[in-house]
Chains A and B, each alone.
Chain A
Amino acid sequence: MDSGKIVFSGLDIEIGRGAVTAIMGPSGTGKTTLLKLITGQVGADRGQVVVDGHDVARLNRKQIYALRRRMGMLFQNGALLTDLDVFENVAFPLREHTRLPERLIRTIVLTKLHAVGLRGAASLYPQQLSGGMGRRVALARAIVMDPEILIYDEPFAGLDPISMGVVLRLIRSLNDALGITSIVVTHDVREISQIADMSFIIAEGKVVASGTTAELRDHPSPIVHQFVDGLADGPVPFHYPAAEYHEQLLGGKVFA
């Protein structure tokens, strides 16, 4: 990485076809970087990312774009195009990549919007949507090209419990109905454990635990225990490294 910090070292993850795989970990462990590696937005200094038999780092721009056409991604904030309305946002990949007649585009877009429950919001602009609605529109856009792999970056961040439940069910039902491979990066352990087939917990640049929800719950590692149970203290410290508290309060240097 540019800052010279090593994000991953010795990371080894295998994601099964057709399953919902959760990738969890404390904030700042590079979960989003992992997604960028899978989609070829960044390259790794060492090691390999293989998607469906292709080493992502070895593909040229054209091949990466061809690979990305088989992927869909849901961004943390939706990343809808603000100058297009909901309908055109969902239609965007179809218009860019296909020459389908307008009638067919209309049918596909309305079907996908119906799947996320927002057929009635087709004429709204992204600014008029709530966070949860925006996320669902982005989801409709992500599935409009019928991808084989669907990647979710923090799909639950900032959502109210109802929207969260809706998105959660959508992830599972889309996965099963369309037979896609879902990769969900999140730190909402409780939510994702309801739907994930397989989970990986990443900390300090490598996988510290992996398995099904039940296996993780009984995992002996203290860091997994801390993460799954949401404890403030444990192997991942609550405090950022600092000088001794009393020394700093009693007039010593401000910074360690």
Chain B
Amino acid sequence: MNAILRDFVQSFLAFLERVGLLVRFALRLAVILPSALMRPRPIIEQVYNTGAMSLVIIMTCGLFIGMVLGMQGYDLLTRFGSEEYLGTATAVSLLRELGPVVTALLFAGRAGTALAAELGLMRATDQIAAMEIMAVDPMRRVVLPRFLGGVIAMPLLVSIFIVVGLFGAQLVGVELFGVDSGSFWSQMRSSVELGDIREGLVKGVVFGVACSLIAVYEGYNAMPTAEGVGRATTRTVVISAVVTLILDYILTALML
């Protein structure tokens, strides 16, 4: 029993230490943020790398999730004879939950792993050390643009995911099952509130900060070996997914 308790305390302390290191890392990013904003070009490049390069997977998944929502929603709503509310139902679920959460999970898998692997490999091949020797701060030159690129790209990806998802739901509900197109869109317009859109965007920004921070932190601090880089990418996906879902609960509770 003592051993179990000791293990628990030890892993809790290790967890606290990791959180502390992550916070210190984030604070350092915050301190150098103003100077990085003076050089927007690397940030724009990273918005392209993390955002534009994730578009295909985001749009494909958005389309299919929208279509599934359309199908399930139609099946459920016809039981109550209120299939004209299909537009509202899909819009609210996409805006408030599925859009930001699924985008964040996909972002962690596509862009987060790419960021972590790239930074880990730069560490393993001495590129980070070379920058330090050249008196160039790698946090400023490499880490911050990648972090900001992710933070900017995420709400944009969330928006695109939601729009494509709505199109998918419309495709199934209106074109396939014959829900009246007018009521699909007008019900949506009259019942979706600004608060729903705000909730989606706030979640997008928060998940963007969390997932990008985890990816650059894990990559930058990866052990400089093949195994270390592999572990960093795995950790990026796992931690991002868990943190996203926990944050989602907290944000939902706060904004309801």
Contact = CB atoms under 8 A, between A and B. Distances in A.
Interface string A49-90: 000000000000000011011011101110111100000000
Interface of A: 39, 41, 65-66, 68-69, 71-73, 75-77, 79-82, 92-93, 96-97, 138, 141, 145
B136 A77 contact: no
Contacts of B133: 39, 41, 68, 71-73
A93 B131 CA distance: 9
Interface residues of B, number: 15
A81 B126 CA distance: 9
11 contacts: A41-B132, A65-B137, A66-B135, A69-B135, A75-B129, A77-B125, A81-B127, A82-B121, A93-B134, A96-B141, A97-B135
Contact of B134 (A66, A77, A92): A92
* Chain B binding surface, main DSSP class: helix
Given A68-B135, A81-B127, A93-B135, 19 more contacts: A39-B133, A65-B135, A65-B137, A66-B135, A73-B133, A75-B126, A75-B129, A75-B130, A77-B126, A79-B126, A79-B130, A81-B130, A82-B122, A82-B125, A92-B136, A96-B135, A96-B136, A97-B136, A145-B134
A41 to B, nearest CB: 7
Contacts of A73: 130, 133
Contacts, number: 51
Contact of B129 (A79, A82, A96): A79
B125 A79 contact: yes
Contacts of B126: 75-77, 79
6 nearest A-B pairs in the assembled complex, by CB-CB distance: A79-B126, A79-B130, A65-B135, A68-B135, A73-B133, A69-B135
B136 A79 contact: no
B202 to A, nearest CB: 33
Interface of B: 121-122, 125-127, 129-137, 141
Contacts of B141: 96
Among B122, B127, B133, max chain A CB count under 10 A is at B133
B134 A68 contact: yes
B221 to A, nearest CB: 14
Which residue among B126, B130, B137 has the maximum number of chain A CB atoms within 10 Å of its CB?
B130
A82 B127 contact: yes
B134 A96 contact: yes
Nearest to A95: B136
A53 B239 CA distance: 47
A82 B129 CA distance: 14
A69 B135 CA distance: 6
Contacts of A80: 127, 130
A82 to B, nearest CB: 7
Contacts of A96: 134-136, 141
